[in-house]
């Protein structure tokens, strides 16, 4: 004899074709047959009528079993079973962690991910960079009294450990009882306030701690990030290049880019990078000559021209940063390119072949990355210049650039960490308002 089994839905399911049945959590499904693929045949009684169709077994659990006759069409249900109530089954893939906790995660579990990105990239890398600067400051004669070499060593080591930990565990909380990671960051920020160059990173840590606490108060739960799988095209290219020489790989890469109509745009990117490099060199030469002409008691160090050169790169890329995402401007240019066959339309189409305005997000990200690289260089060389010529730097620029620079670095941390896909996609408002 076979058995009739009744299953209770533990997750909602919406049918995608006429052969399937939809159900809601708590509804009961009478099993009619099983299939090895995981789609079972069942029926649900609704408003006095029985609806029959296929359903995924991993969204249900067995709650009742009774003896019936054999059903022909699928594999027969298992025999000699007893009545089973509340038998636990594995949840559908991707929901295993959510079922373990009694807390229901909020609709947008994003603040803790945002804090994780800030600590990993802003604080982890910043602790290493500013820790080395603190060690340099401690060894300098003119500014050695405002810093401590030991704190710099601790900061650089802590930054390396923090970066390794956040990379390995991807923001997984230490405990769900209290925001332990936020308390750890506050303790590390208190240590950083001892040394002058590390004050900026201390503020970074405090901001990240506040955002982590906000996520904890919202009962956000950690979800294991999905690893990106290689596409079929990536696998085909990897197999094709496996037995090629370096020259053949480069030539194949150029052919692929030409087939994708990207070769002209790559040429534009190379020209744009060369323009940034030329601007950097030109500004460095101008400021080097200006420093040489200064009086000895007011002269800046040889690192100041490099800080100014990075600043010029920031000005160029920041001024162009918002143009690719101005939809009205892009739409007007597109309309002029497709309006006819005149000289203007021909010129604009050729313009689009080289300047990737139709790939506006890619261009926007490229400008942002160049700006970020220039921000890091600008910051490092300004701090090194101050360690060598502190009084001359203050006489020429005053204290205001330090305050405004720290504020801008905090803004950059919020903007760049809010632009990650796993932060921006679930809650676009964070990226938009930051």
Most confident of 2-6, 300-304, 345-349: 300-304
Q: What is the average per-residue pLDDT within 264-286? A: 91
Q: What is the average per-residue pLDDT within 131-138? A: 88
Confidence category of residue 5, pLDDT binned at 50, 70, 90: confident
Q: What is the average per-residue pLDDT within 22-43? A: 83
pLDDT at 88 over 80: no
Q: What is the average per-residue pLDDT within 47-65? A: 83
Domain boundaries, the chain: 2-93
pLDDT given for residue 9 in this prediction:
87
pLDDT at 301 over 80: yes
- Mean pLDDT across the chain, nearest whole number? 80
- pLDDT above 70: percentage of residues in the chain: 76
Confidence category of residue 397, pLDDT binned at 50, 70, 90: confident
Higher pLDDT, 142 or 378: 378
Confidence category of residue 122, pLDDT binned at 50, 70, 90: very high
Confidence category of residue 230, pLDDT binned at 50, 70, 90: low
pLDDT given for residue 247 in this prediction:
74
Confidence category of residue 265, pLDDT binned at 50, 70, 90: confident
Q: What is the 3-state secondary structure (H, E, C) of the chain?
A: CEEEEEEEECCCECCCCCCECCECCCCEEEEEEECCCCEEEEEEEECCEEEEEEEEHHHEEEEEEEEECCCCCCECCCCCCCCCCCCCCCCCCCCHHHHHCCCCCCCCCCHHHHHHHHHHHHHHHHHHHHHHHHHHHHHCCCCHHHCCHHHHHHHHHHHHHHHHHHHHHCCCCCCCCCCHHHHHHHHHHHHHCCCHHHHHHHHHHHHHHHHHHHHHHCCCCCCCCCCCCCCHHHHHHHHHHCCCCHHHHHHHHHHHHHHCCCHHHHHHHHHHHHHHHHHHHHHHHHHHHHHHCCCHHHCCCCCHHHHHHHHHHHHHHHHHCCHHHCHHHHHHHHHHHHCCCCHHHHHHHHHHHHCCCCCHHHHHHHHHHHHHHHHHHHHHHHHHHHHHCHHHHHHHHCCHHHHHHHHHHHHHHHHHHHCCHHHHCCCHHHHHHC
Confidence category of residue 240, pLDDT binned at 50, 70, 90: low
CB-neighbour burial class of residue 126 (10 A; exposed 0-12, middle 13-18, buried 19+): buried
pLDDT at 200 over 70: yes
pLDDT given for residue 314 in this prediction:
96
pLDDT at 235 over 80: no
Higher pLDDT, 372 or 5: 372
Which of 208-212, 400-404, 405-409 is predicted least confidently?
A: 400-404
Instruction: Give the sheet arrangement for strand 39-46, strand by strand.
Output: 49-56, 39-46, 28-33, 2-9, 60-68
pLDDT at 74 over 80: no
Q: What is the average per-residue pLDDT within 126-152? A: 83
Per CATH, the homologous superfamily of domain 2-93 is SH3 Domains (2.30.30.40)
Higher pLDDT, 18 or 275: 275
């Amino acid at each position: 004899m076979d058995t009739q089994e009744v299953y209770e839905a533990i997750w909602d399911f919406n049918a995608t074709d006429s052969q399937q049945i939809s159900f809601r959590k708590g509804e009961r499904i009478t099993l009619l047959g099983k299939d090895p693929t995981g789609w079972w045949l069942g029926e649900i009684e609704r408003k006095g009528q029985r609806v029959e169709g296929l359903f995924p077994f991993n969204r249900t659990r067995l709650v009742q079993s009774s003896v019936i006759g054999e059903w022909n069409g699928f594999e027969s249900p298992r025999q000699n079973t007893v009545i089973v109530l509340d038998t636990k089954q594995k949840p559908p893939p991707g929901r295993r962690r959510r079922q373990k906790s009694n807390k229901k995660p909020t609709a947008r579990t994003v603040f803790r991910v945002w804090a994780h990105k800030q600590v990993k990239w802003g604080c982890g890398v910043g602790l290493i960079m500013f820790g080395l600067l603190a060690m340099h400051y401690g060894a300098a004669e003119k500014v050695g009294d405002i810093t401590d070499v030991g704190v710099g060593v601790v900061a650089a080591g802590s930054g390396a450990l923090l970066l390794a930990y956040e990379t390995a565990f991807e923001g997984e909380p230490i405990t769900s009882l209290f925001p332990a990671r936020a308390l750890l960051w506050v303790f590390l920020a208190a240590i950083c306030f001892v040394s002058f160059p590390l004050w900026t990173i201390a503020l970074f840590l405090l901001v990240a701690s506040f955002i982590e606490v906000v996520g904890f108060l919202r009962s956000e739960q950690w979800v294991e990030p999905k690893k990106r799988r290689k596409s079929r095209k990536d696998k085909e290219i990897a197999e094709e290049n496996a037995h090629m020489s370096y020259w053949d790989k480069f030539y194949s890469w150029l052919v692929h880019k030409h087939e994708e109509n990207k070769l002209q745009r790559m040429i534009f990117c190379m020209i744009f990078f060369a323009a940034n490099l030329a601007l950097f060199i030109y500004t460095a030469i101008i400021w080097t000559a200006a420093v040489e002409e200064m009086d000895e008691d007011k002269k800046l160090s040889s690192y100041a021209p490099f800080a100014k050169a990075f600043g010029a790169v920031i000005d160029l890329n920041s001024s162009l940063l918002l143009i690719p995402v101005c939809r009205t401007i892009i739409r007007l240019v597109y309309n002029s390119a497709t309006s006819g066959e005149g000289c203007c339309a021909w010129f604009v189409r050729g313009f689009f072949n080289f300047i990737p305005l139709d790939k506006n997000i890619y261009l926007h990200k490229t400008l942002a990355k160049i700006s970020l690289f220039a921000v890091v260089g600008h910051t490092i060389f300004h701090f090194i210049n101050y360690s060598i010529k502190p009084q001359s730097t203050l006489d020429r620029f005053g204290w205001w650039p330090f305050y405004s620079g720290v504020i801008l670095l905090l803004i950059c941390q919020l903007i760049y960490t809010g632009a990650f896909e796993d932060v921006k996609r679930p809650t676009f408002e964070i990226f938009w308002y930051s």
